[in-house]
Amino acid sequence: MNAPRQRQGGAIAIMYAFMLPAILGCVGLALDLGMCYLRRAQLQNAADSIAIAAAAALNGSSAGVDLAEERVADVVGGLRIGLGSRLRWRAEALTFASAPDAPSDAWRSLSAARSAPATARYARVDMGELSDEMRNVQPVLVGVLGVGIAPIDVAPVVVAGPAALQITPLAICAMSDMASDTRNNSGSAELVQYGFRTGVGYNLLNLNPFAGSSTAAYFYVDPIHGAGPGPASFNDATVAPFMCTGTLGYPAFFGGKVRLRRPASFDLAPQLNSRFGTYGGTPACNPLAAPPDLNIKSYAGANASWLTRQPTRLTARPADPPGPLRTIADNDPPLPAATAPGDYGILWAYGPARNTTGSVAASSFPALYPSTPAAAIKSSSPSYPAKGPYLTGGANFGLAPSVAGRANRRLLHILLVRCTNPAGAMVQGDVVAIGRFLLTAPASAAEVPAEFAGIVTEAALPAGIGLNQ
């Protein structure tokens, strides 16, 4: 009665013996694949951290490349691979290029990037440059199948760099073709860049460089599509969220050109004013993505307390026609002494006028901005701080928001474009430069009061760094 059952038990044992290597092989394969995935994930996380640290330091200068090397060393020091081994880093794994999709021969080493720092905008980390024991995993357990498997290379390649341009989607005309010019104000030399005087407040909605102009020229910048083939139109609702954040949704210009639209009216002042902690307009800004500045003080009127005479205007008074649509401060020197001090608007909220070697002393105010009464600011400047009121902040010059803010939100990076006269409703604009302006007071549909604070290069812009894998 028991013989058949015994024979069946023996058959199962034989089947199990035949299947055991396959079972062990599958288990071994799963464990070996698990080790590969673990090592890949460790190397991926390491490469991501290194690439972002390096890219965040780049600013178009050799000092930025040096800082990238330092930050990479700091990150590498805390990385562990495998079961706790320290990452053995090699400098050859880190290279730089001007575009995320640059060809292989365009990626430069640290030393080469220092020689051409303006082209070092993206950082690439190739873990394949590390030693074999770092990037390879040798399958072991699957060997029970009697199959020899070569080491598996799990090294990733990561590219990091600007994911968006920190540029407000508002463009104005360059007021001159001169990148750098010297203005002689009764013996006080002053640097002028593309027709703008540092420290002077401009209404960005009321400028036009052409003789006889009576209509301002300003533009919205397509925030999603760069120049070149693609959609040919965009509306205010598309621009509004980017006006809130002060960004463009692409990492670089295409051939130095952008898509521009000349609006019939400026309806996005509420989005700009999120920098002062007020939220309105349609669509309204999200306070999480567009927080207020850390300093929300408007410098209108008596709040410009460093000036001897209270400014009666937010920006310098427009120049008398005929002529380019500019301010009285931009007329050829010498300026008339009969100008009222308040007509110069808010001066030097971010910083003073500049010459080719640095800042102009506050004692030069009477020469820079002649007026009756004589000076717009005390010649001895006892109330003007060393860094400029906005940067100084504090009880005299600053006001903290009621919610969490972010530094430098009131600094607008505005494209200066080469204008044609008249400008079309939709144009391909040539980018001449990027101007830095301080929003000195809340904007309106008729006025964006902004103090010129100099020219900034694209590479030196504050960057939203992201991965480009």
Q: 126 and 242: one domain?
A: no
Q: 177 and 141: one domain?
A: no
pLDDT over threshold 80, residue 87: yes
Q: 99 and 240: one domain?
A: no
Pick from 408, 407, 406, 412: nearest CA to 221: 412
Q: 359 and 425: one domain?
A: yes
Q: 308 and 276: one domain?
A: yes
Q: Which domain holds residue 381?
A: 170-462
Q: Which positions ≥6 away from 144 have C-beta within 8 Å? A: 21, 24, 25, 28
Residue 467 belongs to some domain of the structure? no
pLDDT over threshold 60, residue 5: no
Using CA atoms, how far apart are residues 221 and 242, in angstroms rounded to an integer? 10
Which range (52-61, 104-113, 279-288) has the least confidence?
A: 52-61
pLDDT over threshold 80, residue 372: yes
Q: 156 and 179: one domain?
A: no
Residue 468 belongs to some domain of the structure? no
Q: 130 and 174: one domain?
A: no
Q: Is the peptide bond before 162 cis (omega within 30 degrees of 0)?
A: no
CA dihedral sign, ordered 299, 317, 309, 350: positive
Mean pLDDT, all residues of the chain: 87
100, 197, 249, 276 from 55: Cα distances, Å: 11, 33, 18, 30
Using CA atoms, how far apart are residues 279 and 290, in angstroms rounded to an integer? 10
Using CA atoms, how far apart are residues 349 and 282, in angstroms rounded to an integer? 30
Q: Tell which of 106, 128, 163 closes a domain.
A: 163
Q: 153 and 264: one domain?
A: no
Using CA atoms, how far apart are residues 72 and 110, in angstroms rounded to an integer? 12
Characterize 64-77 residue by residue with b for buried, 16 or more Cβ atoms within 10 angstroms of its Cβ, and e for exposed: bbebbeebbeebbe
Residue 39 belongs to some domain of the structure? yes
Residue 469 belongs to some domain of the structure? no
Structural domain total, the chain: 2
Neighbours of 140 (CB within 10 A): 12
Model confidence over 412-434: pLDDT tens digits? 999 999 987 666 677 888 999 99
Q: Tell which of 144, 163, 182 closes a domain.
A: 163
CB 82 within 8 A of CB 135: no
Predicted structure pTM score: 0.77
Strands 170-173 and 411-417: parallel
Q: 315 and 450: one domain?
A: yes
Q: 115 and 195: one domain?
A: no
Q: How confident is the model at residue 18 (pLDDT cuts 50, 70, 90)?
A: low
Residue at 175: amino acid letter: M
Cα 297 to chain centroid distance, Å, stands at 24
Q: Tell which of 99, 128, 163 closes a domain.
A: 163
Q: 271 and 255: one domain?
A: yes
Q: 15 and 152: one domain?
A: yes
Using CA atoms, how far apart are residues 419 and 428, in angstroms rounded to an integer? 10
Using CA atoms, how far apart are residues 462 and 246, in angstroms rounded to an integer? 11
Count of all residues that appear for the chain in the document: 469
pLDDT over threshold 90, residue 139: no
Residue 69 belongs to some domain of the structure? yes
